[in-house]
Structure 1
Amino acid sequence: MLRGIPSILSPELLKILMEMGHGDEIVLADGNFPAASHANQLLRCDGHGVPELLKAILSLFPLDTYSEQPVSLMAVVPGDPVATPIWGEYEGIISEYATPAIEYVERFAFYERAKKAYAIVATSEKALYANIILKKGVI
């Protein structure tokens, strides 16, 4: 055990966060996301939701201040009537660490971007459209 490191962050996830360089991206994927078929590196975080992981990661992980929108969410498919209350929760968490500059990426474009991400963290998040991409900044 180490002091100051949220216990939800596994040794494998900490290693990934440390390996990532400026501009690398990590995906926090909800339970419906095809993580295994899209990941260069897949980390499982079963039993946990995205908000608790997001908070823990942002306590250690700087967002890219050189990017206009270092946070990306999967946009709602046109015509889908689903509500996205989790987005407001994300904005609240992000605002604790940075200005929440968020972009919304079309579903299939999000999938293609996820394939290029440094890693995908598969969670048990049940909220729809709860996938989020974080771009790493510098310390």
Structure 2
Amino acid sequence: MLKGISPLLNADVLYALRAMGHGDDLIIADTNFPSDSIARQTRLGRLLRIDNVTAAQAVEAILSLYPLDTFVEDSAGRMEIVGNPDEVPPVQQEVQRAIDRAEGKSWPMLGVERYAFYERAKQAYCVIQTGERRFYGCFAFRKGVIPPEGK
């Protein structure tokens, strides 16, 4: 345990979050996502896990440390529902609230078509699979920067 760091963030996840650079993507995946096969294609090359928690709980812990990219519009993305891309199911609403709390303001997620999301995930730095069992609990977050103190 470390002071000020969520106990959900295990050593492997902390390593990946720290190793990522500006513009790298992080994928948060539900239990139905093809996490292992896609994770093997990422920069890290292996699957990370935050088990037994919802997507929103994992996102809240991650965003307590991870800055979102302010230079792009798609720094927060959600997998769209096939056949109904504008619907935002409860799992995505919960993650949206976690993002807004972490950023201290409204920070909209952009929808990403299912197969486009898979392709984005393959190009990501890493995939973290959660214990989320609800459909469409899959998200992409692009890492931003932390400015020097006093700036």
TM-score, length-scaled by structure 1: 0.93
Structure 1 residues 48 and 110: alpha-carbon distance in aligned structure 2, compared to 1, 3 A threshold: same
Give the 3 Å change call, closer, same or farther, for CA 101–4 of structure 1 in structure 2: same
Check the 8 A contact 1:13/1:43 in 2, yes or no.
yes
Number of residue pairs the alignment of both structures matches: 138
1:122 aligns with 2:129: yes
Report the counterpart of residue 72 of structure 1 in structure 2.
Answer: 77
Q: Unaligned stretches of 5+ in structure 2?
A: 147-151
* 1:136 pairs with one of 128, 131, 143: 143
Q: Which runs of structure 1 show a deviation greater than 6 angstroms over 4 or more consecutive aligned residues?
A: none
Among candidates 111, 118, 141, match of residue 111 of structure 1: 118
Spell out the pairing of 1:1-139 with structure 2 (5 A cutoff): 1-39=1-39, 40=42, 41-78=46-83, 84-98=89-103, 99-139=106-146
Q: In the aligned structure 2, how far is the partner of 1:132 from the partner of 1:113?
A: 10
Deviations 1:11-36 (A, max 9, x none): 11000000000000010100000000
Relative to structure 1, is the Cα distance of residues 116 and 123 closer, same or farther in structure 2, using a 3 angstrom cutoff?
Answer: same
Q: Structure 2: which amino acid aligns with 1:53?
A: A
Q: Per-residue deviation at 1:87?
A: 1.5
Contact 2:68/2:143 (8 A) holds in 1: yes
Deviation at 1:79, TM superposition (A): 5.6
Amino acid at match of 1:45: I
Distance (Å, rounded) in 1 between the aligned partners of 2:9 and 2:24: 19
Query: What CA distance in whole angstroms lies between the structure 2 residues aligned with 1:122 and 1:66?
Result: 26
Contact between 1:70 and 1:101, CA under 8 Å: does it hold in 2? no
Which runs of 5 or more structure 1 residues have no equivalent in the other structure?
A: none
SS at match of 1:109: helix
CA contact (8 A) 1:71 1:133 kept: yes
Q: Distance in 1 between matches of 2:3 and 2:69?
A: 25
Residues in 2 aligned to 1:135 and 1:25: alpha-carbon distance in whole angstroms: 4
Q: CA deviation at 1:115?
A: 0.6
TM-score norm. by structure 2 comes to: 0.86
- SS of residue paired to 2:102: coil
State the secondary structure of the residue aligned to 2:9. coil
Whichever residue aligns with residue 104 of structure 1, its letter is G
SS at match of 1:53: helix
Q: The residue matched to 1:96 in structure 2 has which SS?
A: helix
